[in-house]
Amino acid sequence: MMDESKTLKEISYGDLGNRVHADGSGVAERRVPTDGMLELTRLCSLKCTHCYIGDARWKKDPRELSTDQLKALMDALAERGTLWLTFTGGEALLRKDFKELWLYAKQKGFALVLFSNATLIDDKMAGFLELHPPQCLEISIYGATRETYERVTLIPGSFDRFMRGIENVRKRGLPWVLKAPVIKELAGEIPQITALASEWGVRLVLDGEINASIGEGQSGGKAPCASRLSEERLVDFALEDKNLLIEIKGMARERATAAMAPKTDEPLFSCGAGSNMFYVNSRGDLQMCVLTHHRSENLYADRTVADGFDATWAKFGDFRKIKMRADSPCIACDLTGICKSCPGFAHLENGDEHSAVEWLCRSTHLKALKTGLPHRCDIKHFVYTPPKKP
Ligand code: SF4
Ligand code: SF4
């Protein structure tokens, strides 16, 4: 329940969700699909080395949803209580009908977020977004210098287009956030990227947790994992986050007085996926989140999109009742609070939702060691063993 002593400014979106129903139950209990992402296309203007999309970035997909299909989907979402809607890609701005879809979503009253690499934000597009502003524009940066940026994006000339995009965003005063993947190719430039963010007066979000690809082809599968930092470097970056250090100190204090009870009956999905969050890919598959295509259904298969949504959403409710398998290394782990592993990440990595992602598992233990956080988990969890076939 929401802390009544908080001022409006301090109330988080999650808190607000808990206010939705008069009886005190929140969106999570009711499973209202408040928070969704629409992947408008997998096509992209860049070819980033660490990208999770796969080869679909450079091949037009004949199954990509049409304008009318996307509008029907937005109708269904609005009726089902979706508040936040993120347009993503690939590069969403590559869709020729982007403006039409955006205006339609605005008309439906969604709070809109746009993920973009900014290379297609010319003066006209920035002007359009100024007139019909997003709640937030989340822009990815792949280097502070041309050399690094284009070593990641593999597209000559893309750095200049990116910088022009940023200039247009700033000129129009759009609400935005800058995001940088902390990968091998650009980790050395994080200080310069941080300096750029402060020069531009924008919040910078760093993310080093690179998952395996959700797509097919030469750049699919485990290809993006080659860009991952070593566990040492990843943890060093993570521990620069003051909030994480405060959180770990708090956990250590609690553990000094009482050890965490071993867990035996844990739900597999403990995040918001399929509870209030969802993802629809560019072919119309409704997923619990971007990483869980193995638990998806197509919304347009022999039914209306509204019926498809309701039927699939009901199945997600069942998926959320699944318990962690008894042989999962994560079930008894007392480091889950600082670990970025999750069933979707693990499925992409090992083909098994109940497994541990070795790279993340090692990083988490290292984080605990470096900060002196007492924990039970031992080294045997570092090595992933696939489950025996029945
Ligand atoms: S990481 Fe983003 S910008 Fe880069 S190729 Fe993939 S979808 Fe495009
Ligand atoms: S540290 Fe390892 S065992 Fe613990 S939750 Fe993370 S992946 Fe699972």
> Is the N-terminal amide bond of 344 cis, ω within 30° of 0?
no
Test site for ligand 2: of 339, 352, 384, most ligand atoms within 8 A of the Cβ: 339
Please report the pLDDT score of residue 264 as a whole number.
74
Q: What is the pLDDT of residue 185?
A: 96
CA distance 172 to 177: 14
Q: Is the CB of 57 under 6 A from ligand 1?
A: yes
Render pLDDT for 325-364 as a digit per residue (tens, 0 to 9): 988 888 888 888 899 999 999 999 999 999 999 999 989 9
Q: Which residue has the tokens 């598959």?
A: 285
Query: Is the CB of residue 187 less than 8 Å from the CB of residue 236?
Result: no
Domains of the chain: 21-229 (3.20.20.70)
How far apart, in whole angstroms, are the C-alpha atoms of residue 30 and residue 69? 27
Residue 5 Cα, ligand 2 centroid: separation in angstroms? 35
Q: 12: pLDDT confidence band, cut at 50, 70 and 90?
A: very low
Name the strand (E) or helix (H) holding 38: strand 35-39
What is the model's pLDDT at position 49? 96
pLDDT at 302 (0 to 100) = 86
Q: Is the CB of 377 under 6 A from ligand 2?
A: yes
In the numeric block, the tokens 């502070």 are attached to: 144
Q: Which ligand is nearest to the CA of 58?
A: 1
Phi, psi of 100 (to 5 degrees): -60, -45
pLDDT, mean over the chain: 89
CA 373–ligand 2 middle distance (angstroms): 14
pLDDT value for 71: 98
Q: DSSP secondary structure string, 173-232?
A: T--EEEEEE--TTTGGGHHHHHHHHHHHT-EEEEE--PPPPSS-STTSTTGGGGGPPPHH
Helix (H, G, I), strand (E, B) or coil at 61: coil
Confidence of residue 251 (pLDDT cuts 50, 70, 90): confident
- The sign of the dihedral angle between the CA atoms of 242, 246, 247, 251 is positive
CA distances from 272 to 60, 75, 349, 373 (A): 31, 22, 21, 27
Ligand 1: nearest atom to the Cα of 153: 4
Beta bridge partners of 282: none
| Beta carbons of 39 and 287 less than 8 angstroms apart | no
Q: Is 44 in the pocket of ligand 1 (CB under 6 A)?
A: yes
Ligand 2 atom 2 nearest Cα: 361
- Chain segment 107-152, per-residue pLDDT in tens: 999 999 999 999 999 999 999 999 999 999 999 999 999 999 999 9
| Mutational pocket test of ligand 1: of 43, 91, 185, the residue with most ligand atoms within 8 Å of the beta carbon | 91
| Model confidence band, residue 380 (pLDDT cutoffs 50, 70, 90) | low
Residues 6+ apart with CB under 8 A from 235: 363, 366, 367, 370
Distance 294 CA to ligand 2 centre (A): 21
For residue 357, which atom of ligand 2 is closest to its CA? 7
